[in-house]
Amino acid sequence: MKEYEIYSDLRVPVNSKIIIRLDGRSFHSFAQNMELKKPYDDNFCRVMVNVSKELFEEFSPLFIYSFSDEISILLDNVPFNGRIEKMNSVIAGFASSSFTLNYDVQFSKAVSFDSRVIPITDDKIYDYFKWRQDEAWRNCINGYGIHFLKSKYSSDEANEKINGLGLSDIHELLFQNGINLNDVETWKKRGIGVYRKNKEVIGFNKKKSKEQSSYRSFVHVDCNLPIFSKEFFNELF
Ligand SMILES: Nc1nc2c(ncn2[C@@H]2O[C@H](COP(=O)(O)OP(=O)(O)O)[C@@H](O)[C@H]2O)c(=O)[nH]1
Ligand SMILES: [Mg+2]
């Protein structure tokens, strides 16, 4: 019967880079059921950061980027010999259970993430992450915008109003009403990155009888990302 498993050999080339993007399934309903704070719920974001960190430790990617309910994982050491079914199912499963383990409140319905594999070439890595970071920014403005409008109008009216506004109109509307997005925390506007960073450690060299410095890498969660540039990724790897 093994020959019936016709998709199990679908692979990406092992020497290539890929991005795996996870997205929470029906997290709009999850947010409603769990009464998450709007537009940003600190505890939900803490959990997503922990999931990203655990994914980093488990699959050793080059870079992870997360905002809202999505996580993009850039891998150069393609796991599972590049088998797509295996990568999508294991990594989505890992994220779902990590999310559940990290949540401090029990929920009644199981959560899940969908997962997709995106082959990527070096020259497109910046474009990909810039695309997702622009989405994080749009999400931030819209999130604050709809939250403000719903405090003034009915839900239907607020939705109707926001649909007629561009991003700069929403920015202006918020500003006129005392909400300055410049003062909002960077992670809400630009998302969160996880990557390896070098740290200098001072040790004592017994043979030479003197202190000596060396570098050790550690997993860094960056809540103060810059606006992505090509240089950011050139410095990273
Ligand atoms: N209240 C709240 N909701 C959030 C937060 N982060 C993500 N969400 C919800 O998650 C959804 C993610 O968008 P999307 O993936 O398109 O919706 P889905 O298909 O229902 O998962 C948003 O629409 C929000 O409803 C948060 O910090 N607070
Ligand atoms: Mg989702």
Domains of the chain (ranges; CATH) run 2-124+184-189 (3.30.70.3000)
- Give distance in angstroms: CA of 99 to centre of ligand 2: 14
Asked whether the predicted pLDDT for residue 127 surpasses 90, the reply is yes
Which residues make beta-bridge pairs with 220? 195
| Mean pLDDT score, 18-43 | 97
Separation CA 21–CA 122 (nearest Å)? 17
Taking CA atoms only, the protein residue closest to ligand 1 atom 7 is 68
Residue 14: the pLDDT is 86
Which residues make beta-bridge pairs with 72? 21, 65
Residue 154: the pLDDT is 96
**CA 195 to chain centroid:** 12
Q: Which residues line ligand 1 (CB under 6 A)?
A: 23-28, 31, 36-38, 40-41, 44-45, 68-69
Mutational pocket test of ligand 1: of 68, 103, 114, the residue with most ligand atoms within 8 Å of the beta carbon: 68
Q: Report the candidate in 228, 192, 226, 219 with the shortest Cα–Cα distance to residue 44.
A: 192
Could you read off the pLDDT of 141-192 as tens digits, one per residue?
999 999 999 999 999 999 999 999 999 999 999 999 999 999 999 999 999 9
Q: Is the dihedral of CA 165, 168, 172, 178 positive or negative?
A: positive
| DSSP conformational letter for 63 | E
Contacts of 136 (CB under 8 A, 6+ apart): 67, 68, 189, 190, 191
Indicate which ligand has the atom closest to the C-alpha of 138. Answer: 1
Could you read off the pLDDT of 202-213 as tens digits, one per residue?
989 888 899 999
- The answer to whether the CB of 22 falls within 8 A of the CB of 95 is yes
The DSSP result for 114-170, as a single string, is EEEEEEE-GGGHHHHHHHHHHHHHHHHHHHHHHHHHHTTS-HHHHHHHHHT--HHHH
Separation CA 131–CA 134 (nearest Å)? 5
| Mean pLDDT score, 20-49 | 97
Atom of ligand 1 nearest to the CA of 45: 27
What share of the chain has pLDDT > 70, as a percent?
100
Q: Report the candidate in 137, 133, 147 with the shortest Cα–Cα distance to residue 168.
A: 137
| Mean pLDDT score, 129-134 | 98
Q: Mean pLDDT in the chain?
A: 96
β-pair type (70-75, 210-222): unpaired
Indicate which ligand has the atom closest to the C-alpha of 41. Answer: 1
Residue 237: the pLDDT is 85
pLDDT tier, 103 (very low <50, low <70, confident <90, very high otherwise): very high
Q: What is the end-to-end Cα distance of the chain in Å, rounded? A: 44
Place of tokens 């630009």: 190
Mutational pocket test of ligand 1: of 40, 51, 69, the residue with most ligand atoms within 8 Å of the beta carbon: 69
Could you read off the pLDDT of 5-14 as tens digits, one per residue?
999 999 999 8
